[in-house]
Amino acid sequence: MTTSLHPDSRVEDGAVVGGGTRVWAFAHILGGARIGEDCNICDHVFIENDVVVGSRVTIKCGVQLWDGVRLEDDVFIGPNATFTNDKFPRSKQYPEKFLPTRVRRGASIGANATLLPGLTIGAEAVVGAGAVVTSDVPARAIVAGNPARITGYVDTTQKAVSAAGKPGAIEPSQVRGVQLHRVHNARDLRGELAAIEWESLLSFSPKRAFFVYNVPNSSVRGEHAHKVCHQFLLCIHGSVAVVVDDGENREEFFLDQPDVGIHIPPRVWSIQYKYSADAVLFVLASHGYDPADYIREYGAYLDFLNA
């Protein structure tokens, strides 16, 4: 593949530009930069020395990539997206090392988005146009706003929960091993009572229980998988969204009924977010707390499944 350099572009000596990459008019690439194959570097893009760009990356017009930026394969950077690399910039004063900003494989950054220094944008994540990103973005998350907050997850099916299900009913998910359960609920003039019977409802004997509450609405919890531990989640007050992912299929459940729970087996990635201010999430676990049982990075989770 032949590299295509527009006659009005400038690529300094020492820069590495892979085959099939096109550099358009008025783009300027400094000598220390490393650009992969089959990229599209559009008009008026500036790329500093300590920048590494993977293959098949698109960088639209008006983008500046400063020292420390790392773009992995198949990343899309929208027009006029802004990268930063110094939390406390001063004229003629330079840090010993600029903070690295990493955009993982397949992620997209929308037009006019701003990324603070030192952040990681997870694989296949989407940053909305005009968002101001102040913290790391998880893999496949969709963020928007100022400051950017998670509004959803890429390629995730929204799963409706019936308000009038039959007690004891079990509904399977597209995600391997995940099941939605409606626990037995007794209603009369005195109120309501929901009961969990271990042997008839759960496929495991709980060894641990805990509550999650007083979580700000914008916060995300979970973001991990377990190697051997089963969990059963009930939102006994308020509401919370639960995303489950087996590496191939992803579904999102909105729990807002205290008699509806979700069984999450081991080897399934889980995220809880969109907590209401009054949410109380009750969790039963098949094992005691063991840090070694957690997989906390999505790429490591996929490696674990493949292994």
Residues designated as active site: 224
Report CA-CA distances (Å) from 65 to 85, 107, 169.
9, 16, 54
What are the beta bridge partners of residue 28?
A: 10, 46
Token pair 């499944």 is at which residue?
A: 305
Query: Using CA atoms, how far apart are residues 192 and 194, in angstroms rounded to an integer?
Result: 7
What's the start-to-end Cα distance of the chain, in Å?
A: 34
Query: Using CA atoms, how far apart are residues 41 and 59, in angstroms rounded to an integer?
Result: 5
Report CA dihedral (73, 76, 80, 83) to the nearest 10 degrees.
-40
Query: Using CA atoms, how far apart are residues 52 and 66, in angstroms rounded to an integer?
Result: 10
Token pair 């928007």 is at which residue?
A: 144
Pairing verdict, β 231-237 and 4-5:
unpaired
Contact criterion met (CB below 8 Å) for 183 and 259: yes
